[in-house]
Amino acid sequence: MLNQQIQLQSKNMTSASELYSAQRKKVHDFRAHLNILNQLMKNQEYSAAEEYLEKITEQQTDRLFLVNTHHPILDALFNTKAAEATQKKINIDFEVNDLSKLPFYASDMVVLLSNLLDNAIEACQQYDKDDKAIHVMAVAQQDFFISVRNTSEPVVIINGSIPTTKPEPQMHGFGLANIRLILEKYSGEYTMFYENGWFQFTADIPFTPIS
């Protein structure tokens, strides 16, 4: 079980890095397009500018999304999950700041955040309405505050756990178990609740040495 989880996280990291590189290229290309349009407008070549704009608009089939926390691994993860959510017609937004100085192992943060985001995306897919949304907050100040809030069907929470009706419940509980292990490792606290069509998980991790 542990080896499978390690292999899965390794694949997630690889795909995240690849997507982040691809998105950085999109940003570079987008800036190049803006420079060309700017030059055409300066030269008063308005018809050419309009034609060029129509052409690049047709080519832009997916949403350009770039979360920047100055932490390359978390940036890759956030952008990977943002692209996945967008492809599944889920509106997702992020509130972040500079996470480059987080005093935690990056691999632990990937396990923690990827599980939270995977759970949110899955809950939105099961949500029987069109206004599917995820709000993510990851802010480092005196501590590391995390909040993932998503639209959801009603959720029953019993003693800090969410019973599942899926096949192989022990496998589906593995994600929450991993979240708890990471939070316990760093003496973090968490809470989760459901209200009026929204599920929210919040965690607070102090900037203290690993216990």
Q: What is the CATH number of the domain that holds 194?
A: 3.30.565.10
Q: What pLDDT score was predicted for residue 167?
A: 47
Percent of the chain at pLDDT exceeding 90 = 43
Q: Quick check: 30 pLDDT over 80?
A: no
Number of domains the chain contains: 1
Confirm whether 37 is domain-assigned. no
Q: What pLDDT score was predicted for residue 112?
A: 93
pLDDT band at 177 (very low <50, low <70, confident <90, very high): confident
Q: What pLDDT score was predicted for residue 80?
A: 84
Closest CA to 22 of 71, 70, 64, 73: 64
Q: Tell me the pTM.
A: 0.71
Confirm whether 168 is domain-assigned. yes
pLDDT band at 187 (very low <50, low <70, confident <90, very high): very high
Confirm whether 16 is domain-assigned. no
* Interstrand relation of 133-140 and 91-96 (parallel, antiparallel or unpaired): parallel
Give pLDDT tens digits for 109-137: 988 999 999 999 999 999 988 899 999 99
Confirm whether 159 is domain-assigned. yes
Confirm whether 134 is domain-assigned. yes
Give pLDDT tens digits for 42-89: 999 889 988 888 887 766 555 556 789 999 889 888 988 998 999 999
Strand runs (DSSP E) across the chain, as ranges?
Answer: 91-96, 133-140, 143-151, 189-195, 198-206
Q: What is the C-alpha to C-alpha distance for residues 195 and 208, in angstroms, rounded to an integer?
A: 32
Confirm whether 21 is domain-assigned. no
Confirm whether 17 is domain-assigned. no
* Contact between 186 and 210 (Cβ < 8 Å): yes
- Which residue range(s) make up the domain with 131? 65-206
Confirm whether 44 is domain-assigned. no
